[in-house]
Structure 1
Amino acid sequence: MKILNRQDFLGKNYPTRIIQFGEGNFLRAFIGWSIDILNEKTKFDAGITVIRPINTDFPPSLNTQDGLYTTIIRGLNENGDKISQSRLIRSVNNEINPYKNYDEYLALAQDKNIRFVFSNTTEAGISYHENDKVNDKPPVSFPAKLTRLLLERFNHFNGAADKGWVIIPCELIDYNGDALKALILRYAQEWQLPTEFIQWINTANTFCSTLVDRIVTGYPKDEAQQLEQELGYHDAFLDTAEYFYLFVIQGPEWLEQELHLDKYPMNIQIVDDIKPYKERKVAILNGAHTAMVPIAWLCGLNTVGEAMQDDDVREFIEKLLSEDIIPVLDLPENQLRAFAEAVTSRFQNPYIQHQLLSIALNSMTKFRTRILPQLISGMNKGYISERLSFALAALLVFYRGQRFDEFYPLQDDDIWLTRFTELWPRVGNTLDSKEFVRIILSDENHWEQNLSKNDKLVDKVALHLDAILQQGMRESIKSLK
C-alpha cells in the first residue's frame, strides 16, 4: 500500500504564509482543514509551516508524509443526513522542531511572505515561564518562543510597519489573543528589548482572540485499517472530526478580505467581541450537556447518542434550550435557535460515542458556570425556571451515586464528594429534602452567593427532588411536559 508523499500524490503546492504552533489532531482538522478549503475555493494561496512547541518526538513529524494527511469529517449535515467526507490536506508544507533545528525556526521570521500565526498549545500553553531568556535556543514557553521570533522579524526588516503578523491563537482560554499579547510584552520588558520593538508589537501586529468549536476525535485506531483500504493508501496521521465547525475571530473588518472569507465564508465569523458567542456556546452546548447527564443517566441511558434517541429526554433538552436558555441570552434569536438546532444534531452524531459519566466530571462546577447564569437571569425577572431548577434537583440526586440497584463512581472535588457522602444517607431520615437543598445552596464559596436565601428556589428544587426520588426520573420529566 502506498504511503503519502508529494511525489506519488501530485497536486498543488502553496507558498508558506502561515506559521502554526502545534502539530496535534485539533489544529490539523480545524486550521489545516479550513486553510486547505480556502486554498481550493479562493486565491488565498497559503501554505503552513508547523512548529512543534515542546521537545518531544511523539507523534512522529509530519515531514514523514511531506506534510500530507487525511481528514475524515463525519456526522449529520444541515438536512440531518448521515455523511462521511475524506479530504487529502495539502496546506501543510513542513514541520520544524525548534529544539533540533533552531536556526531553521528563526529563519521563518525573515520570510517576507509569512503573514499569519495560528496556535493551539493547550490551555497551559499561553503561560509564563520565569526562566526563559532571550538567548535560549529555544525558550521553553510558547509566548517566549513567539517573542523571540517576532524580535528576529523586527530586526531583519528594521521594524517595517508592513511586516507585522496577524496572530490568531486557538487555545481554550478567555480572550486568548489578549493573554498572549500581554505575555509577549512581559517578556519584552523583562528581556529589556528596545522600546521601538515594543511599539512595533503594539502597532504593526494584530492579536485576535478566538472561539473554536469542533469535536475532533483524532486518529481512528479501531477503523484505521478499513479506512486505509477505502482510501487506497497508508496514512499515519488520519484525523477524524465531526461535521460541525465554527471559528469566531475577534478582529478588524479587513481580516475578512485577507482571509478571503468574502469569497468563501465557510463558518468563520469576524466579530467585534467574542463574549456573546462564548456565552452562547457555554449556555447552549455545554449547558445542554450538563443538564442532560444526570437526567439521561438516571433514566438508564449511557451515552449522549442514546439520550437523544430517547423521546422523553430529547424533548426535555429541546424545550430547555428553546424556552429556558435562549430567551435570556444576548444575541439575535435566529442565531441562537440555529445554533441550538446544530447542537441537537451534533448530539445525535452516530460516529461519536460520548459516555455520560465522562461528561459528568466536576458537574457541580459545570452547573454553576453553564446553567446557573440562566437560572439567575430568570429569577431577576421574577420567575424560576421549572426545567432549570429540575436540572439542579436531578444533579443533586445524581450525586447520591445510585442508579436503580447499581452504584457508580462520582468524580468531583473532594469537598463535594465528602458532603454528599455525609448528607445523602440522612435525607428522608434525620434530614428532609428542603433542608438538604438549603445546605447545598448555602455554599457561598461554590455558588459565589448564598442561593439558599431564595426560599422559592429552595422549595422548587426540593419539590423536584422529592418527585424524582418517589416517581423515578422518567416519570418526573414526563410530568414537566
Structure 2
Amino acid sequence: MKASGYKGYILEEAPEKILQFGEGNFLRAFVDYWFDVSNERVGWNGKAVLVQPIAQGLAEQINRQEGLYTLYLRGRENGEKVDRKRVISSVSRCLNPYEKAGYDAMMQVAESDDLEYIVSNTTEAGIVYDPACRKEDCPPASFPAKLTQVLYRRWQAGKKPVVILSCELIDNNGKELQKCVEQYIGQWGLEEAFRAWCGSCTFCSTLVDRIVPGRIKDAAEAARMEEENGYHDELIDVGEVFGVWNIEGPSWLEEQLPFKAAGLNCIVVPDVTPYKKRKVRILNGAHTGFVLGAYLAGLDIVRDCMHNDSIRGFMNKMLYEEVIPTLPLDKKDLEEFAAAVQDRFNNPFVDHELMSISLNSTSKWKARNLPSLLEYVEKTGRLPECLSMSLAAYIAFYTSDVQELTEAGLVCRRAKGNTYICSDDRWALEFYWAHKDDSAADLVHAVLTNRQMWDQDLTEIAGLEAAVLAGLTKIRAEGAEAAFASCL
C-alpha cells in the first residue's frame, strides 16, 4: 500500500475488539466498513478477527493481504451518481477453526480482555440447533454450537460478558441465536452459573440493509481498477452506497457503539419490528409491486424501470399514497426511506434482472403487498388503486400466453415475443396451469378465493374482485405499461 502511493486512511495496529463469524462479501462491505469508518472518524481503535463459518473460506487470502481489501460503494445518492473507493483496515486476521491452530486461536480471542463484540452472518441456515454437535467437537458443525464453546471458554476465564450482533436474514435473529445457545447449555450439561452469565450477555436482533454484489464481473473493468490502484487485490468487494443497520437492544448500547458518534446510519431501538416492516413493505414491496407488470411491458432490469415515467410513477404513487400511510413509523422517516429506494433501484452499476426478482412471487406478494392492501382498506374504507393493479399484474404474469408446465416451471410468453419461466411453489404453478383456459372473470375469481394463496377469501373485500378483473382486462388489451399509467 505504501509503495503504491495510497494516501487514504489505514489503521496498522489496534486491539482486537470484535470476533466475527463470517468473512464473506456482505460482512466485509457492511460491518467491517462501519467499524473502519468509526476508527477513522472517532478514533474507536478496534479491529475484527474473522472466523470462517465453514471449512472452505477466505482465511488464506485475507491473511496474505494482512486483512486489507478494497471496497467500492457505488450507486446513486440524492439523485447523483456515486463511485467511492476505500481500503478497509479494520480486519486484523482470519481464522480457520477447522484447523487446530485456527480453533485454538479462536479460543484465545474468547479469553481476551479486549473482546467487546461478537458479530455473525452465517446465512439464513446458520442459526440452527443441531443436536449432533458435542461439547468436545473441535469445532462443532453449527455456528451456535461454536458460539456456545466460545462463550463457555470466556466465562471459564472469568471475563466480562459481550454484545452479540446477529446479522442473519431471519426474523428475531438474535433471539433465535440465544435460544440455540440455551439448548446447547442444556444438552451439554453446562453449569447454571454459566447460563446466568450468558443471560448477562446482550444478544441483539438486528436488521441489515445493503445490496452487496460482491465482485466486479466485467474483466476489463476489474483490470482497469487494478491498474489505477497500483496493487493487486484478491478480495475486492463491491456494495451499494445505501446502508442502514437497525439494532434491537438497550439504550446504553447506542452510546457504547461508535456508529452514532461517527455519523453512520445506525440506530439502537427497543424493537426492530417496525423497521423490518418498513423494509419489507417499501423496498421489497416496491419490487414485487411493479416488476411483474414491468416485465410484461418489455423491460428486463430494474434500473430501466426507473427511466420509464409510467412505471416509476406507478411505484411512487403506490409507496407514498398507499403503503406509507399504513406504516407505524414517522412519516418523514418513511418518505426518506422511499426516496432512497428510487436511488437504489436506479443504480448505474447493478443490472438487477426483473426475472430474478420474480421468483416465488405468490408468497412474496402475500408477505410484502397484501398486508398494505388490507391495512389501507381498513384505514380508509377505499381500495388502493395501485396495489389492486399490482395484484392484476401478478395474475397476468402467470397467465400470459401459457405454453407448458415443465419441471423448471410454468412457461409463458410475453408480448415482446420471448418465453419466460414462472418459478414458484409447485402447487401454485399447477393451479395456474389448471386455470390457463379460464375466462378473465373466472380466473380472477379462482385466484382471489384461493385460501392456500392468501389464507383468506379476497372476494370478501368490497370491490376488489371487480377492480382486479378490470386491471387484468386492461393489461391484456392495452399492455401493462398503459395499465400502470391509468393509475396515475
8 Å contact 1:2–1:233 — kept in the other structure? Answer: no
Task: For residue 134 of structure 2, give the secondary structure of its aligned residue in structure 1.
Answer: coil
Residue 364 (structure 1) aligns with: 362
8 Å contact 1:375–1:384 — kept in the other structure? Answer: yes
The structural deviation recorded for 1:406 is 2.8
Residue 384 (structure 1) aligns with: 383
8 Å contact 2:127–2:176 — kept in the other structure? Answer: yes
For the pair 1:206 / 2:238, whether they are aligned, the reply is no
Within 5 A, what are the aligned runs for 1:247-286? 247-286=245-284
Within 5 A, what are the aligned runs for 1:32-181? 32-57=32-57, 60-78=60-78, 80-100=79-99, 101-157=102-158, 163-181=160-178
Aligned-residue sequence identity (percent) comes to 40
Residue 419 (structure 1) aligns with: 431
The structural deviation recorded for 1:58 is 5.5
What CA distance in whole angstroms lies between the structure 1 residues aligned with 2:470 and 2:50? Answer: 56
Task: For residue 216 of structure 1, give the secondary structure of its aligned residue in structure 2.
Answer: coil
- Per-residue CA shift, 1:418-454, capped at 9, x if unaligned? 2212212x23xxxx32221111122212211122333
The structural deviation recorded for 1:12 is 3.1
Residue type of the partner of 1:421?
W
Task: For residue 398 of structure 1, give the secondary structure of its aligned residue in structure 2.
Answer: helix
The structural deviation recorded for 1:455 is 5.2
For structure 1, the 5+ residue unaligned runs are: none
When residues 353 and 262 of structure 1 are mapped into structure 2, their CA distance, relative to the original with a 3 A threshold, is closer
The structural deviation recorded for 1:472 is 1.6
Please report the TM-score for the alignment, with normalisation by the length of structure 1: 0.94
The structural deviation recorded for 1:459 is 1.3
CA-based RMSD of the aligned residues comes to 1.7
More deviation, 288-297/337-346: 288-297
Size of the aligned set, in residue pairs, is: 467
8 Å contact 2:212–2:239 — kept in the other structure? Answer: yes
Residue 472 (structure 1) aligns with: 479
8 Å contact 1:21–1:50 — kept in the other structure? Answer: yes
Residue 293 (structure 1) aligns with: 291
The structural deviation recorded for 1:2 is 9.7
When residues 202 and 236 of structure 1 are mapped into structure 2, their CA distance, relative to the original with a 3 A threshold, is same
What CA distance in whole angstroms lies between the structure 2 residues aligned with 1:395 and 1:21? Answer: 39
Task: For residue 352 of structure 2, give the secondary structure of its aligned residue in structure 1.
Answer: coil
Residue 17 (structure 1) aligns with: 17
What CA distance in whole angstroms lies between the structure 2 residues aligned with 1:104 and 1:271? Answer: 34
- Per-residue CA shift, 1:229-262, capped at 9, x if unaligned? 1111100000001000000001111112211234
8 Å contact 1:38–1:264 — kept in the other structure? Answer: yes
For structure 2, the 5+ residue unaligned runs are: 400-411
Residue 374 (structure 1) aligns with: 372
Task: For residue 70 of structure 1, give the secondary structure of its aligned residue in structure 2.
Answer: strand
When residues 423 and 10 of structure 1 are mapped into structure 2, their CA distance, relative to the original with a 3 A threshold, is closer
- Per-residue CA shift, 1:290-332, capped at 9, x if unaligned? 0111121111111000100111111111111111110111111
The structural deviation recorded for 1:468 is 1.1
What CA distance in whole angstroms lies between the structure 1 residues aligned with 2:384 and 2:13? Answer: 56
Residue 407 (structure 2) aligns with: none
8 Å contact 2:140–2:146 — kept in the other structure? Answer: yes
Residue 28 (structure 1) aligns with: 28
The structural deviation recorded for 1:287 is 0.4
The structural deviation recorded for 1:416 is 1.4
The structural deviation recorded for 1:221 is 3.4
What CA distance in whole angstroms lies between the structure 1 residues aligned with 2:418 and 2:54? Answer: 44
Task: For residue 312 of structure 1, give the secondary structure of its aligned residue in structure 2.
Answer: helix
Task: For residue 446 of structure 2, give the secondary structure of its aligned residue in structure 1.
Answer: helix
Task: For residue 190 of structure 2, give the secondary structure of its aligned residue in structure 1.
Answer: coil
The structural deviation recorded for 1:35 is 0.5
For the pair 1:325 / 2:323, whether they are aligned, the reply is yes
The structural deviation recorded for 1:470 is 1.5
More deviation, 66-75/402-411: 402-411
8 Å contact 1:2–1:234 — kept in the other structure? Answer: no
What CA distance in whole angstroms lies between the structure 1 residues aligned with 2:349 and 2:307? Answer: 14
Residue 316 (structure 1) aligns with: 314
Please report the TM-score for the alignment, with normalisation by the length of structure 2: 0.93
Residue type of the partner of 2:215?
Y
8 Å contact 2:97–2:106 — kept in the other structure? Answer: yes
Residue 406 (structure 2) aligns with: none
Task: For residue 409 of structure 1, give the secondary structure of its aligned residue in structure 2.
Answer: strand
What CA distance in whole angstroms lies between the structure 2 residues aligned with 1:10 and 1:120? Answer: 25
The structural deviation recorded for 1:118 is 0.6
What CA distance in whole angstroms lies between the structure 1 residues aligned with 2:61 and 2:131? Answer: 29
What CA distance in whole angstroms lies between the structure 2 residues aligned with 1:365 and 1:60? Answer: 40
For the pair 1:457 / 2:464, whether they are aligned, the reply is yes
8 Å contact 2:59–2:94 — kept in the other structure? Answer: no
What CA distance in whole angstroms lies between the structure 2 residues aligned with 1:337 and 1:368? Answer: 23
When residues 317 and 3 of structure 1 are mapped into structure 2, their CA distance, relative to the original with a 3 A threshold, is farther
What CA distance in whole angstroms lies between the structure 2 residues aligned with 1:455 and 1:42? Answer: 56
Residue type of the partner of 1:480?
C
Task: For residue 131 of structure 1, give the secondary structure of its aligned residue in structure 2.
Answer: coil
When residues 253 and 71 of structure 1 are mapped into structure 2, their CA distance, relative to the original with a 3 A threshold, is same
8 Å contact 2:75–2:347 — kept in the other structure? Answer: yes
- Per-residue CA shift, 1:123-147, capped at 9, x if unaligned? 0000011110111101110000000
For the pair 1:187 / 2:188, whether they are aligned, the reply is no
What CA distance in whole angstroms lies between the structure 2 residues aligned with 1:475 and 1:73? Answer: 36
8 Å contact 1:3–1:235 — kept in the other structure? Answer: no
When residues 470 and 377 of structure 1 are mapped into structure 2, their CA distance, relative to the original with a 3 A threshold, is same
What CA distance in whole angstroms lies between the structure 2 residues aligned with 1:469 and 1:259? Answer: 54
Residue type of the partner of 2:113?
K
Task: For residue 73 of structure 2, give the secondary structure of its aligned residue in structure 1.
Answer: strand
8 Å contact 1:439–1:452 — kept in the other structure? Answer: no
Task: For residue 84 of structure 1, give the secondary structure of its aligned residue in structure 2.
Answer: strand
8 Å contact 2:165–2:205 — kept in the other structure? Answer: yes
Residue type of the partner of 1:206?
T
